[in-house]
Amino acid sequence: MLELLYDSVPAVLSELICTAFIPRPGYKFIVSDFSAIEARFLAFLAGKTWRPKVFAEGKDIYCASASQMFCVPVEKHGIDSHFRQKEKIAELALGYGGSMGALNSTGVFNVFPLAQ
């Protein structure tokens, strides 16, 4: 039912969960979101020196990585933007300890005929 009413069910559920938390009187909840924090930290751990340059230049790390991963120029809202999402899934799945099973279940390798 939610899928018929909303574009993103996870986003709606996330918003509903956030509103369920109410601070005690006199206290405040402070929420922050660090832009691509996982990608930044994983780049540091992996010693990838080109990735901090992407961040420093204000570019999209997932587009830059997808361009290398799929060997095509990727722009966030361009013709090959679907590769950005596949790279992001791959990066986060592997960064959180996923394996080939995690990548296969997300469909990341559907673009690689030889990897299936």
Q: What is the pLDDT of residues 98-111, one digit of tens each?
A: 777 777 766 766 65
Q: What is the Cα gyration radius of the chain? A: 18
Q: What is the pTM of this model?
A: 0.64
Longest Cα pair distance anywhere in the chain, in angstroms?
A: 59
Tens digit of each residue's pLDDT, the chain (116 residues): 666 777 777 777 777 777 788 889 999 988 777 788 888 888 888 898 999 899 999 999 999 999 988 889 999 999 988 899 888 888 888 887 777 777 776 676 665 544 44
Three-state DSSP at 51 gives helix
Close Cβ partners of 87 (under 8 Å, ≥ 6 residues apart): 62, 65, 66, 69, 70, 74
